[in-house]
Amino acid sequence: MALKVLIVDDEALARSRLCTLLGDCTSPHAEVVGEAGNAVQAMEQLQRLSCDLVLLDIHMPGVDGMALAANIQQMPSPPKVVFVTAHAEHAVRAFDLEAVDYLTKPVRLERLQLALQKVQRQRSAGEVAEASAGAESLLIQERGRSERVALADVIYLKAELKYITVRTADKEHIFDGALSDLEQKFAHLFVRVHRNALVARRRVRAVEKHNDPVEGEGWTVRLDGVDERLAVSRRQLAAVREALVS
């Protein structure tokens, strides 16, 4: 996927040269999504563009590139910044502003390509870190210790008196919480099978009819990872069957 690039330079010729060089980059490819001749224009475009990288000049009329870079870093999801300037003396300060790279004019294709590769690596590392940090889990606190259990490992959640049993393939945990809260928050992962139980959608293997000597005819759900079968209420039967199909 091509990196989406905004070029910010007060010289039209410099912007044109960067456009040409970016068109020749192949690993990764780059797509110029906008150009700006000053900081005000740049911020206006950043508010409406999807942008991965800003190629930024330093010496510009009005707000200079350093101040603009500081403003960019305050954005909720800031693009990466690579400075492109004729002046090498600002390099230390540039990296203090978390710039990925610092290119001096005239920019060579090979050097620009290396800068794009740095941007790509940092973006990839950031996506992995974000995914890891955002991985859905439950914090289990029992017997004086805390343990984080990934919801991807949970087979079912079952209300038992004041607590919830969190069942994984190899262990049971006790979680202090409300089943309804978990159902609302993680509806994309779990389906309710009974008033007291949620099961992992991807673990549903079969919905089967059974005859209980006491309760009579009913339904159960068979789950991947455990031998235990949970009762399915008639009210939830359609939703569980839908989970099985999907």
Same-domain check for residues 165 and 197: yes
pLDDT of residue 125: 63
C-beta of residue 99 within 8 angstroms of C-beta of residue 90? no
Which pLDDT score, from 0 to 100, does residue 1 have? 77
Q: How far apart are CA 147 and CA 168, in angstroms?
A: 13
CA distance 220 to 206: 8
Q: How many domains does the chain have?
A: 2
- Output the domain CATH number for residue 156: 2.40.50.1020
Whether cis (ω within 30° of 0) applies to the bond prior to 78 is no
Q: Which residue range is the domain that position 148 belongs to?
A: 137-245
DSSP string over 198-243: EEEGGGEEEEEEEEETTTEEEEEEEETT-S-EEEE-GGGHHHHHHH
Angstrom distance (rounded) from CA 123 to CA 38: 26
Asked which of 67, 98, 133 is the last residue of a domain, the reply is: 133
Provide the terminal-to-terminal Cα distance of the chain, rounded to the nearest Å: 30
Give residue 126's pLDDT. 62
Can you read off the two tokens belonging to residue 101?
């790279």
pLDDT attached to residue 79: 93
Q: Which of 42, 47, 34 is nearest to 61 (CA)?
A: 42
| Bridge partner list, 178 | none
Q: In what order do the strands lie in the sheet with 216-223?
A: 204-212, 216-223, 229-232
Q: Are residues 110 and 165 in the same domain?
A: no
Q: What's the pLDDT score for residue 240? A: 92
> Tokens 């199909």 — which residue?
245
- Judge if 148 and 117 occupy the same domain: no
150 and 129 within one domain: no
Q: Final residue of a domain: which of 102, 133, 164?
A: 133
Same domain, 69 and 180: no
Q: Tell me, yes or no, whether 190 and 125 share the same domain.
A: no
Q: 162 and 113: one domain?
A: no
* Structure tokens that stand for 161 in this block: 């008196």
Report the distance separating Cα 37 and Cα 24, nearest Å: 23
**Cα 197–Cα 202–Cα 208 angle in degrees, nearest 5:** 60
In terms of domains, do 233 and 128 share one?
no
Render each residue's pLDDT in the chain as its tens digit; 246 residues: 799 999 999 999 999 999 999 999 998 999 999 999 999 999 999 999 999 999 999 999 999 999 999 999 888 789 999 999 988 777 667 767 778 899 999 999 999 999 999 999 888 766 654 554 446 888 888 777 788 899 999 999 999 877 899 999 999 999 888 888 889 889 999 999 999 999 999 999 999 988 766 666 889 999 999 999 999 999 999 999 988 887
Of the candidates 86, 108, 133, which is a domain's last residue? 133
Looking at the fold, whether 90 and 146 belong to one and the same domain comes out as no
Same domain, 71 and 158: no
How do beta strands 80-85 and 30-36 pair?
unpaired
Q: What is the pLDDT of residue 133?
A: 46
Per DSSP, the residues of 94-147 read HHHTT-SEEEESSPPHHHHHHHHHHHHHHHHHHHHHHHHHT--EEEEEETTEEE
Amino acid letter at 209? K
Give yes or no: residues 164 and 129 share one domain: no
What's the confidence (pLDDT) of residue 127?
62
Of how many residues is the chain composed?
Answer: 246
| Cβ 19 vs Cβ 33: under 8 Å | no
Both 53 and 120 in one domain: the answer is yes
